[in-house]
Structure 1
Amino acid sequence: MENKLYYQDPYIRTFNAKVVKQEQDSTGSWYIVLNQTAFYPTGGGQPHDLGTLANKAVKNVEEIDGEIRHYIDVPFDDIGKEVIGTIDWERRLDHMQQHAGQHLLSAAFDHLFGYKTIGFHLGAEILTIDLETDHLSQQQVQEAEALANQVILENRPIETKWVTEEELSQYNLRKETKVKEDIRLVIIPDFDDNGCGGTHPRATGEVRAVKVLDWERQKKKVRVQFVGGNRVVTLLGQKQRVLLELTKILNAPEKEMEQAVLRLLETNKTLEKDLEQTQESLLHFEAKDLLEKRSHREKPLVSEVFQNRSIQELQNLARIIITEEETAIVYFVSENDKRLQVVCARGQAETVSMKQVIASALPHINGKGGGNDSFAQGGGEALVSGEQMLQHLLEIVR
């Protein structure tokens, strides 16, 4: 472990090391191996560090086959020389805060309710832990969060120890360790003993705070979303900005925001219903007008070319017409930008197969569609004009 400087001191930001190996992996990506490194590799639910080596950006860090690989875009011209490594400190500190926050929250759920953590993920914005339970209440979340934050406020030390498998019996481990040698314990006195290979701050006070955001049941576990450290302050600032904008838009104070939104949603539902009824009435008037224009024919053939009408509108209009007039045949075409929409329908008294009509028409526009003998629809590219398509439909029926 001597070459893993992040275990000796997770606060190291710069270090010197020698390049001992430079190769490409199976994907063709270049990586280098150093004689010692402060770059933390992906592992234990914690993402890898970022930074630079000799001013070359380190894009990824992985521990593979016992060596820590630092992935770079451009290989070094000369290996074997000493290089300066610089850690992205803001990212490292964030990971330290989040990982320690996870230990605190997991231990709180365990102490209070006996809920074991069976999964952990440290994401770019939020963290999740999976609790071994199928139920979690608001009261339990508040109690666990309060306990974790109380331990943060007490600023207890966060200790790390390397122990053997035989020495594990001396500690009250929250869960069994997966490794059997080079066992590293992260200890928060009188609160949490846990096997962990991640980086953590020196004391709980550096975590600043933890805040649970949400939780959901997933099969036989509950997934809890939360943030810790500087992310709490950042997220509070984001949410506050959004809330202040909403108070201006809705003209309501923060405490009345929920009721203001509910009133707005209810009003919107009413308006949508009124709009639907109005649109339905307009379609009936339009259908009546189209039928009257064709009333001089023995069989009212209703055909029309529209501009920018949705196929749903054409379908509804056609259904109204064939309901009003059972001898009607309806051919509608709509020109929508670079596409054509086609609807064909017949009343109950007619026998022309609309399915065959649409099947004959769609190849002219490389279209797709379907339906049955009484009602069919489709659409395709505007390879012909709407009038040309309508004339083709009329030729078919003749």
Structure 2
Amino acid sequence: MMKDRLYYQDAYIQTFSAQIAKRGTEEDGTAYVVLSETAFYPTGGGQSCDLGVLGDTQVLDVEEINGEVHHRLAAQLPEALTEVTGQLDWERRFDHMQQHAGQHILSAAFLEVVQAETLAFHLGKERVTIDVRLDELTDEVWTQVEKRANEVVLENHPIIARFVDEAELASLPLKKQPTVTENIRVVMIPDFDYNPCGGTHPARTSEVGMIKILGWERHRGNIRLEFICGWRALRDYTRKQSTVRELARQFLTSEAELVEQTQRVIAERDLLKQTLAEKEKLLLEVEVQKQLAVATAIGNVRLIQHVFTDRTIQELQQFAQMMTAEAPDAVCLLAATGEKLQLVFARGQAADVAVNQLIKETLPLISGKGGGNPAMAQGGGQPVLPAEDVLAHARKLLETALKA
């Protein structure tokens, strides 16, 4: 069955020769060919396609369209060429074989341990995911499933993949029913897993290598699980081990005490942040008194108009809150310079002016955006004008509003 698909005859074929049966160009200008037979696996069943070269030309994508395997190419093959040699990116192919077989093993382990079926599978470039019919994945279940999956790997079972007829299909203890009605292929790990599948797999479970669950999240009422196998798992472990060693060096501690040391550093950081916030509040209180002493009387309000440097908009808001609490008749027109010009306008309870209207009529000067309420408003824009000129404009608006 499907004799033109060499990957079904032997998943370990890396090089092959074939006749060019069809040439074409897609709507976007991409060239493609159909071959008399191919070892390139097309995208399907949650598994990405193989890549490699045909002759000297890169294969960019492989997809089955209307029963034909289209090899999308980086350039057109010479018209005179009738036969071509294909070379797979073997590292990519074997990685896909490891991950896909690992998914079969992990899914079967979930069924065995907690009777949870797999609903979806995706083989990504860095991670593999399966969606499992579970409400929650506890640490105990996680550990049991992962242990069982790796036991199957180490037991070195054969992985048998072949097309079956209706009689044999009916006799197999399938974990799920096939999604096609012809050319049904079943991947079997005897006495453990029997699944309809068109993907590529290694010959034995030991070739899958370690299966490692990385994490999970809730997804549409089920559990989406992330895992990796084989060489991916080794690369991930190597990277994480390097990170742990470097962190231990930075924290001047051992790997065994790294978590405890990190917790101490976080506690110290939080204490320092609290202390710093208290000091900054004291400095703001001093600044409030300083600005209040030089406030300008306009009608029945006191105007505090000031430009700060190296202040965040949150600090301006805090200053304004402290000022209006200290002086209910105060109106604050504040600015902070930097990459953006930040504005905060505020008024105390005794000041009858809507500062959100003031800032609305000021922000166009700096192509800014913002908003707020009559008691406090804020915004920011481009520093196209000196901050002092922007606040002078807001002051004129305030004077006009107070006379109205």
TM tier, smaller: over 0.9
> Residue type of the partner of 2:337?
E
Partner of residue 77, structure 1: 78
Q: Which residue does 1:317 correspond to in 2?
A: 319
Post-superposition shift, 1:262? 1.7
Corresponding residue for residue 387 of structure 1:
388
Larger displacement relative to structure 2 (284-293 or 152-161)? 152-161
* Distance in 1, Cα, partners of 2:32 & 2:247: 49
Alpha-carbon distance in structure 2 between the residues aligned to 1:20 and 1:336: 65
Please say if 1:50 is aligned against 2:51: yes
For 1:359 and 1:292, locate their aligned partners in 2 and report how far apart those are by CA, in whole Å: 28
Distance (whole Å) between structure 2 residues aligned to residue 192 and residue 208 of structure 1: 17
Q: Secondary structure at the match of 1:74?
A: coil
Measured against aligned partners, the alpha-carbon deviations of 1:44-85 in whole angstroms (never above 9, x if no partner) come to: 111100100111111110001110011112112316511111
Q: Which stretch has the larger CA shift, 119-128 or 283-292? A: 119-128
Q: Distance in 2 between matches of 1:295 and 1:130?
A: 66
Which ranges of structure 2 fall in alignment gaps of 5 or more residues? 400-404
Equivalent pair of 1:62/1:70 in contact (CA under 8 Å): yes
Whole-Å separation in 1 of the counterparts to 2:345 and 2:41: 66
Q: CA deviation at 1:291?
A: 0.9
Which stretches of structure 1, 4 residues or more, deviate above 6 A after TM superposition? 295-298
Q: Which residue does 1:181 correspond to in 2?
A: 182
The whole-number CA distance in structure 2 between the counterparts of 1:174 and 1:373 is: 65
Which deviates the most, 148-157 or 56-65? 148-157
Coordinate RMSD, CA, aligned: 1.9
| CA distance in 1: counterparts of 2:247 and 2:29, whole angstroms | 50
Matches within 5 A, 1:177-326: 177-294=178-295, 300-326=302-328
CA contact (8 A) 1:165 1:180 kept: no
Q: CA deviation at 1:296?
A: 8.5
- The answer to whether the 8 A contact 1:161-1:185 is kept is yes
Identify the residue that residue 12 of structure 1 maps to in structure 2: 13
Percent sequence identity is 43
3-state SS of 1:174 partner: coil
**AA matched with 1:313:** E
* Matched-pair contact (CA < 8 Å) for 1:165–1:181: no
Deviations 1:95-115 (A, max 9, x none): 111111111111122223222
CA distance in 2, matches of 1:302, 1:284: 14
SS in 1 for 2:271: helix
Matching residue's letter, 1:47: S
CA contact (8 A) 1:213 1:225 kept: yes
Q: Which of 369-378 and 149-158 deviates more? A: 369-378
Secondary structure of 2:360's aligned partner: helix
* Closer, same or farther: CA 282–132 of 1 in aligned 2, 3 Å: same
Question: Cα deviations across residues 135-183 of structure 1 (Å, max 9, x unaligned)?
Answer: 3332222222222222222222111221122321221111111111111
* Contact 1:331–1:344 (Cα < 8 Å) also in 2: yes
Q: How far did residue 225 of structure 1 move? A: 1.6
- The 8 Å contact of residues 304 and 332 in structure 1, kept in 2 or not, is answered as yes
- Maintained 8 Å contact 1:134/1:219: no
Q: Is the 8 A contact 1:121 1:129 kept in 2?
A: yes
Which range moves more in the overlay, 160-169 or 294-303? Answer: 294-303
The equivalences for 1:44-193 within 5 A come to 44-78=45-79, 81-193=82-194
Q: Gapped runs of 5+ residues in structure 1?
A: none
Shift in Å at residue 327 of structure 1? 2.1
Query: Residues 333 and 390 of structure 1 are in contact (CA less than 8 Å); yes or no, is this contact kept in structure 2?
Result: yes
Quote the Cα distance in structure 1 between the aligned partners of 2:343 and 2:229. 56
Q: Give the secondary-structure state (helix, strand or coil) at the position aligned to 2:152.
A: helix
C-alpha distance 69-394 of structure 1, shift in aligned 2 (>3 A): same
Q: TM-score, normalised by structure 2?
A: 0.93
Q: Secondary structure at the match of 2:247?
A: helix
Give 1:220 deviation, angstroms: 3.3
Counterpart of 1:292, as a letter, is A
Match of 2:402 in 1: none
How far 1:19 sits from its partner (Å)?
1.6
Residue identity matched to 1:75 = Q
189-198 or 361-370, larger mean C-alpha shift: 361-370
Q: Alignment length, in residue pairs?
A: 397
**TM (normalized to structure 1)?**
0.94
Counterpart Cα distance in 1 of 2:115 and 2:325: 65
Query: Separation in 1 of the partners of 2:296 and 2:369?
Result: 32
Post-superposition shift, 1:295?
Answer: 7.3
2:330 corresponds to: 328
Contact 1:19 1:79 in 2 (8 A): no
